[in-house]
Amino acid sequence: MFSLICNLRHIFLARGTPAIRCYPAVKRAGSHGKLERLPPGFGKTTPLSLFIKENFASRKNEQPTKIFSNLIKQWKSLDEADKGKYVDEALRINEERRSKFEAMSETEKEELRRRAKNLKEARVKRKIRLERRKKRESDGQRPMSGWMLFVKEKAVKGAADTGKKQQDIIKELAIVWKSLPKSDKDMYSERAKDFSKSGEICDLTKAVVHEMLKCNVISILLVLVVVCCNDRELARLQIGVKKRVDNCEMRSRKGDTLNVHYVGMLEDGTEFDNSRSRNKPFMFTLGMGQVIKGWDQGLLNMCEGEQRRLAIPSDLAYGSSGSPPKIPPDASLKFDIELLKIEREEDL
């Protein structure tokens, strides 16, 4: 069926009519004939996107929005013969991606589908958070609560630490807040009411968000030690370089397709996966949620030929669900990874 459609495409192109872009999706078992979108990293490239990519860099003195607008107009003015080369190149790239996807095992495909689903859900959550933030900012100011007063006192006041993200600060403060006894929370709530009655309000505009980035991390950590002294220390991603590259011409970045060899181990050294034993490098797109978060974060700015060891906490790996039967719930993992090749869209 696919070859028939492609033959029809060439017939139509020869007659000067718009070309049919052949890009069959993959059918899943039990889908009753419905076509499934391929996961991120294997998605469709359009002729227009190739045209824009080819001509974008030559217009350095224009605003990006103006460049896009002009290139789209230029694309529409091209005849079918000029568009044809981009159509054929897009077809070649898409067919190559489809072939790579189909060559994967069913287990690898299911893992990519699962990560694509998680990525989609994360985008929806980010959109909801953004809408809520915009609503708060449009409201301007609102009465102070006990939680807001707690954050203001612990995070805004004090020395700056630009290496700490606001999101991480709030998460740590939330742990402390939940651990406080009810009497302490009530005290903050009563003080917040007094501030509100006296006319002081909690400004949630961008200025305060900016200030919260300048938090007193030392005071936060002291509170964490006092309140959570019996809890285990929050684990962090650890990155060790086993082999450096002297002349590094290209470093990995988000959106790159990486070809790697890896050995995966549990914390006690038990090996659960090894791409070298299969004699087949693993390929994925960095920063697109196709792999665990520890990989997406730990393989940034890596050179071809470089080797790293990643020590990944469970929350950046498979979390409380694990990956049965080899990876138990809440398992911290270690990976020895060698970056073999970086493929970048602009190089295709």
Q: How large is the average pLDDT for residues 36-52?
A: 81
DSSP letter assigned to residue 303: B
Answer with the residue of higher pLDDT: 35 or 258: 258
* CA pair distance 279, 51, nearest whole angstrom: 37
DSSP letter assigned to residue 20: P
Burial class (CB in 10 A: 0-12, 13-18, 19+), 53: middle
Which two three-digit tokens encode residue 126?
């980010």
CA-derived radius of gyration, the chain: 26
- CA angle, 273 then 278 then 282, to 5°: 70
The least confident of 4-8, 88-92, 133-137 is: 4-8
Residue entry with tokens 């034993």? 277
pLDDT in tens, 11-20: 444 444 343 3
Is residue 292 annotated as part of the catalytic site, yes or no? yes
Q: How large is the average pLDDT for residues 62-67?
A: 78
Backbone angles phi, psi at 273, to 5 degrees: -160, 150
Is residue 318 annotated as part of the catalytic site, yes or no? yes
Is residue 335 annotated as part of the catalytic site, yes or no? yes
* CA pair distance 228, 173, nearest whole angstrom: 12
How many beta carbons lie within 10 A of that of residue 116, not counting itself?
20
Q: Which of 238, 261, 233 is nearest to 317 (CA)?
A: 238
Q: Which of 299, 303, 306, 272 is nearest to 285 (CA)?
A: 299
pLDDT for 345 equals: 77
Kindly list the distances between the CA atom of residue 203 and the CA atoms of 28, 141, 142, 144, in Å, as whole numbers in the listed order: 51, 5, 7, 9
pLDDT in tens, 120-160: 888 888 889 888 877 766 665 566 788 787 877 776 543 34
Active-site residue, from 292, 327, 337, 342: 292
Active-site residue, from 23, 42, 51, 262: 262
Cite the DSSP H helix spans in the chain. Answer: 2-14, 47-56, 64-77, 80-102, 106-139, 146-151, 166-179, 182-197, 206-212, 217-227, 275-278, 293-298
pLDDT for 44 equals: 82
Backbone angles phi, psi at 258, to 5 degrees: -105, 140
Is residue 273 annotated as part of the catalytic site, yes or no? yes
Backbone angles phi, psi at 58, to 5 degrees: -75, -5
Q: List 342's β-bridge partners, or say none.
A: 258
Is residue 86 annotated as part of the catalytic site, yes or no? no
Residue type, 106: E
pLDDT for 169 equals: 74
Q: Which of 77, 227, 71, 211 is nearest to 155 (CA)?
A: 211
Domains in the chain, start-ordered, CATH in brackets? 47-103 (no CATH), 142-221 (1.10.30.10), 238-343 (3.10.50.40)
Active-site residue, from 88, 273, 315, 330: 273
pLDDT for 305 equals: 93
pLDDT for 215 equals: 41
Per 3-state DSSP, the chain is made up of helix, strand and coil in percentages (nearest 5) of: 50, 15, 35
Active-site residue, from 12, 184, 272, 330: 272
Active-site residue, from 42, 86, 284, 335: 335
Active-site residue, from 86, 282, 318, 337: 318
Is residue 188 annotated as part of the catalytic site, yes or no? no
